[in-house]
Amino acid sequence: MGASAVNCTIAVDTMGGDKGPTEFIRGLFYALEELKLDCHFTLVGNQRLLERLLKVGKLEGYSDRINIIHSTQVIGMHEKPIQALKSKKDSSMVKAIALLKEQQADAMISCGNTGALMAGGTLRLRQIAGVDRPALGIIVPSKQNPFVLTDVGANPESTPENLVHNAVLGANYAKAALNIANPRVALLTIGTEEGKGNALTNATHLLLQEIDGVINYVGPIEGFQLFDGNVDVVVCDGFVGNVVLKSSEALFGFIGSTIREELVRNVKRKIGAVLSKSAFKDMKTRLGPDQHAGAPLLGLRGNILKAHGSSNYVAIANALRIAQEVVMHDMIDSIGSDINQTNALTTHCDAENAP
């Protein structure tokens, strides 16, 4: 643990997201009052609006820890990333990224346009030395403890070296966000039944074995083991991770809507549904994204966390909590050190195997 939370500042792009700045202020209240975060916050957005919301939200008592930076533009959810970044230099997102770049903030979070956030973050902050491509990591619930799945969409065209870096990035995120000292890292592949994996996963498996001292690599797992919770980090390329993430969210919704349809088919079922309603609410709380809503863009020289566009205040508060965790764990320094070791070990292998 390096930084003290008291000296840590989180920049917040309050204008992105489907629910607007009101939800951010509610999230901030929850983060301060319920989650007891003790860092500082710099809110980027419309100053007068934010001041009014802070007053309405009864956050005036925290004025020494909350700072506002005025911005006049907002990047929409469906704007083209590069174009939006260029034309909206006074947007809340661009200004929040700039705070990170200028070391006036230690982390930033946004619920806005993912593509713009990833492009803006990568262009402004650049990668940690030795990291080729950043990776998007998320925390996923399982039958046991939650685990980190990475990459879920930053890099859809991965090399084995990229996947090895994803493993290092994911392990460091699990240490910081899930507070796991020695996370078990697995490689997502397909079964022996159908032939083992593909060229990418097979080459990655060999490289991961070589860096076993840097991370705790426990071997490949298959899709059917994904939610068992026997590992803490699951590594895949951004194409596979994105498809798995989004199809899983879709399936969760589909199962929910099918259950709802079935539960209203007759009176007996309807009564049963009323009596057991709280069970479904609790199930949703356990499996839904609110507890672990911050998805960091790992591998950059700055902590950028993406929260879902439709995040509610609980999700936002938890994203703020995770942002504080990654700062306090000095995640970026730790990644830098692990990547150096990783590249030394894997380059060593290449030299040995060279003709």
Q: What is the dihedral of CA 28, 34, 35, 41, to 10 degrees?
A: 20
- Is 2 a residue that touches a second copy (CB under 8 A)? no
CB 92 within 8 A of CB 130: no
- Is 18 a residue that touches a second copy (CB under 8 A)? no
CB 38 within 8 A of CB 12: no
- Is 83 a residue that touches a second copy (CB under 8 A)? no
CB 14 within 8 A of CB 44: yes
Measured from the CB atom, is 89 or 269 closer to a second copy?
Answer: 269
CB of 268 to a second copy, least distance (A): 5
Only one residue has tokens 């039944």, namely 193
Query: DSSP character for 310?
Result: T
- Is 154 a residue that touches a second copy (CB under 8 A)? yes
Query: DSSP character for 91?
Result: B
Measured from the CB atom, is 46 or 158 closer to a second copy?
Answer: 158
- Contact pattern from residue 162 through residue 201 relative to a second copy, giving x for each residue in contact according to CB under 8 A and a dash for the rest: --------------------------x-xxxxxx-xxx-x
**Beta-carbon contacts of residue 350 (< 8 Å; ≥ 6 apart):** none
- Classified as helix, coil or strand, 273 is helix
CB of 118 to a second copy, least distance (A): 7
- Is 262 a residue that touches a second copy (CB under 8 A)? yes
Q: Which of 258, 344, 260, 311 is nearest to 114 (CA)?
A: 311
**Contacts of a second copy in 264-283 (CB under 8 A):** 265, 268-269, 271-280, 282-283
- Is 144 a residue that touches a second copy (CB under 8 A)? no
How far apart, in whole angstroms, are the C-alpha atoms of residue 152 and residue 279?
Answer: 30
Residue selected from 18, 249, 333, 350 as contacting a second copy according to rule CB under 8 A: 249
CB of 248 to a second copy, least distance (A): 5
Q: Which of 74, 99, 77 is nearest to 88 (CA)?
A: 74
Per CB under 8 A, residues contacting a second copy are 113-115, 118, 136, 142-143, 153-154, 156-157, 188, 190-195, 197-199, 201, 222-228, 236, 238-240, 242-255, 257-259, 262-263, 265, 268-269, 271-280, 282-283, 286-287
